[in-house]
Amino acid sequence: MAAVQPAPAHSRQFLSGNEAVARAAWDAGVRVAAAYPGTPSTEILEVLARFPDLYTEWSVNEKVSLEVALGASMVGARALCAMKHVGLNVASDALMTLTVTGVEGGLVIIVADDVGMSSSQNEQDSRFWGRFAHLPVFEPADSQEAYTLTRAAFAVSEQFRTAVIVRLTTRICHVKGAVTAGEREVIEPAGFEKDPPRWVMVPGHAKPRLPLMFDREAALREAAEASEFNVLEPGKDMRVGFVTSGPAGMHVLEAFPDAPVLRLGFSYPPPIERIRALAGQVERLVVVEETEPLLETELKAVGIDCHGKDILPRLGELPPNILTPAIDRLLRGDAPVEIDRPAPQPVFPRPPTLCVACPHLGVYYTLSQLRNVIISGDIGCYTLGAGHPWNALDTCISMGASMGMALGMDKGRGAKDANKKIVAVIGDSTFMHMGMQGLLDITWNRGNVTILLLDNRTVGMTGGQDNPASGRDIHGQEAPRVDFVQLCEALGVRRERIRKLDPYELPTLFKALREETKIDEPSVIITDRPCVLIGEYKPTQAYKVIDDTCTGCGNCLDVGCPAIHVTRRGQETKPSGKVVDLAFVRIDTAACTGCGLCVQPCAPEAIVHAQRLQPLSFIRQPGSTA
């Protein structure tokens, strides 16, 4: 990936919040930036990686990314790490200690909360990490503020020798706006100063530093009171005033342009006295925050009367159509009611599904054919295996959890599940993120689990980023590639119980699963096919359906490929009297990549190459381009 020169300073650009953060980090003189991809934060590092004069990396997980950034800070360099909200949970071990050590070079942690759960398994409010770890939190409300506050965060970090959290939300990350950038700073790292009482966090060293952490938090409270990023928008209608932060502040300004609004860009520690002053000027004070009542609770604890989650929902965004009726009821004195979110408009159902020719299609088709099996799932594209037509995933909790949960199922099962096979499904990037420890636990504790390690050579769910299994770094340069066979063997799986195969070969995959699930020891099946959306994937000749040959059996539909469409349905009565449903299909040849998955379950051989109207008489072998 060739470096690009960012637009000149003081020019207006149309940037998303993620792009604005990346530009701000470069302008702030960041020397090291690390992240693990996760929607909605992924683009921050992708953009930064194109800028010159700094080091960027995809780390194997968020904890490592924070440790890389902290190491850079220790030698005096400015550093940034970025992650989505659930990633900060992974990084919290390092986070809760660096708040005691403090930092040297400016260290900014960008965390993107997925308010409304557009692409996440939970909705959490990362502002709590500021309170929990005694760290300042900045909350931009648009792309320009994302730029401004990120740059300012580095200065605050170095002024108070603390990491700074910049909390984004999905709306900030992905919505674009006009941004004017400033001049770039060039900062030479001061170098590492040996200081074991500060950097070696044994109990004897940590205890004396705790009072320093609390002193720092007190100084940050004073800074928040005076901060230019906490802006009071004056109003004439004093019946109600608002205190808010982030994009919720923009919603308040849109819905109530005549009301006084205190928007907090420097939101933790909160500027209590400024809020108290506003509360004394209005008849009612309303705290509008996405998603938890963090600020509301703080204000009530210091005796400031306010409304918040008693009239507003605790989940999702707070746009004007939610705010306006809630405030109207408050002003009328009506009793609070359950917030009615508008029902989604009826549209043609389009459930999420795997891509055409996705190498996971064969895996879930095969799993769906197995009986008496419990399938422990994980986070990634393959989570979609829980849906139609496969229904071949029974659990999904967090990154890497498929391994530990599978072991727990094995060890905790009773008579009802005694004869069931336990399979764990995990992707290549997820395995390296947090799954390796789970496999080690399985082998060490002699678990009876079959692991399906789906190697598609990329981080597919977040857009095709490279990882240690792809053989490329973030810049597309050649890098060492993990050998999963050797890795699994090193983690304790016997070499005889490790198989590597092509997931397009359904009979081979089915046979491997049948055999490995019968073995009373850990085993690993590695599927080896690149994601269809990366350059390494090579499409071949498309297929079509011969209408006169198709019997409507519908076997090809069970593969789940979205290039296959039902043209008409019917029924047939067998001699036994049984009525069988029929589904006649066609293949969208423009979408078909020629993977051949649908050909293999087609009994009447009605699926042929689009340009060679002959039945396929073979099953593709690994490496074949036929």
- Binding-site residue numbers for [4Fe-4S] cluster are 550, 553, 556, 561, 592, 595, 598, 602
User: Backbone phi, then psi, for 98, in 5-degree steps?
Assistant: -65, -20
- Taken in order 327, 330, 334, 335, the sign of the CA dihedral is positive
Count how many Cα atoms sit within 13 Å of the Cα of residue 90 in the half-sphere of its side chain. 28
Nearest Cα neighbor of 360 from 425, 436, 449, 294 is 425
Give the H/E segment covering residue 193: none
Find the helix or strand (DSSP H, E) in which 424 lies.
strand 421-427
Residue 298's CB is within 10 A of a number of other CB atoms, namely: 17
How far is residue 388 CA from its own chain's centroid?
23
Tokens of 438: 């789970």
- d(C-alpha 506, C-alpha 256), whole Å: 60
Closest CA to 60 of 467, 396, 361: 467
Integer Cα distance of 421 and 440 in angstroms:
19
Residues facing 264 on adjacent strands: 230, 245
> Cβ–Cβ contacts within 10 Å for residue 343, how many?
6
C-alpha 300/C-alpha 324 separation (Å) is: 23
Burial class (CB in 10 A: 0-12, 13-18, 19+), 191: exposed
Tell me the two tokens of residue 567: 């043209």
Q: Distance (Å, rounded) from C-alpha 433 to C-alpha 567?
A: 43
User: Residue 326: what are its φ and ψ, rounded to 5°?
Assistant: -65, -45
> Going by DSSP bridges, is the β-strand pair 421-427/373-376 parallel, antiparallel, or unpaired?
parallel
- Size of the chain in residues: 626
Closest CA to 182 of 396, 26, 52, 351: 26
What distance in Å separates the CA atoms of residue 468 and residue 470, rounded to the nearest whole number? 6
3-state secondary structure of 414: coil
Residue 201's closest CA among 104, 105, 95, 107?
A: 95
Q: What is the DSSP letter of 396?
A: -
Structure tokens at 403: 């391994």
- Which residues neighbour 38 within 8 Å (Cβ) at sequence distance 6 or greater? 62, 83, 84, 86, 87, 112, 462
β-strands 230-233, 261-264 pairing:
antiparallel
Handedness of CA 22, 100, 85, 466 (dihedral sign): positive
- Binding-site positions read 550, 553, 556, 561, 592, 595, 598, 602
